[in-house]
Amino acid sequence: MISIDAGRCADYLFVAQRNNSLSRSERQWILGFICAASGGIALAFTAFGAWPVLPFAGLEIAVLYVAFRYVDRHAGDYECIEISGDRVRIEVREGGAVHRVDFNRHWARVVMSDGSGRSRLALRSHGREVEFGRHLTHEARERVARELRQQLGKA
């Protein structure tokens, strides 16, 4: 998913991705099965005169479709931190848009804070701050923060 130039070697590279238990085709099959089952049950009830079931089944199918589309759109999201030489690059892909931020290794600082029941990991330099680790557990964020502090300290 992330390519690194063959002539360039990173001192440190960490990639955090979403945990997708189903592939795109598996999600499509499951959505199709749920829609067919729900639609079939609604049509059976409609045939017996309980027609108000049909609009609710349609609404259920529409909501499921929107939810599955959202999951599909964000299935490829990732966050990547690469430290190479004097440069720290943070690359975040969210919903198809890729954002890259470069910091100077000597000026970058790791910020770890706890607030509102959720830990937060970010890199800060020259008034800019980029959050990292949305797809990580609290323990993993702490481990990555320690690793980043160690790697930034090697400069």
Tokens of 46: 């409609």
What is the overall mean pLDDT for the chain?
A: 88
How far is CA 10 from its chain centroid?
A: 23
* ∠ CA 18-22-28, rounded to 5°: 125
Each residue's pLDDT tens digit, 90-109? 999 998 899 999 999 989 99
C-alpha distance from residue 97 to each of 3, 11, 41, 75, 120 (Å): 16, 26, 40, 13, 22
Each residue's pLDDT tens digit, 48-63? 999 999 999 999 999 9
Burial of residue 132 (CB within 10 Å: 0-12, 13-18, 19+) is buried
Each residue's pLDDT tens digit, 7-36? 457 788 999 988 888 899 999 999 999 999
92 or 3: which leads in pLDDT: 92
Domain ranges within the chain, ordered by starting residue? 12-17+79-153, 24-74
Per-residue pLDDT band for 153 (boundaries 50, 70, 90) equals: confident
Q: What is the DSSP string of 77-136?
A: -EEEEEEETTEEEEEEEETTEEEEEEEETTT-EEEEEEETTEEEEEEEETTEEEEE-TTS
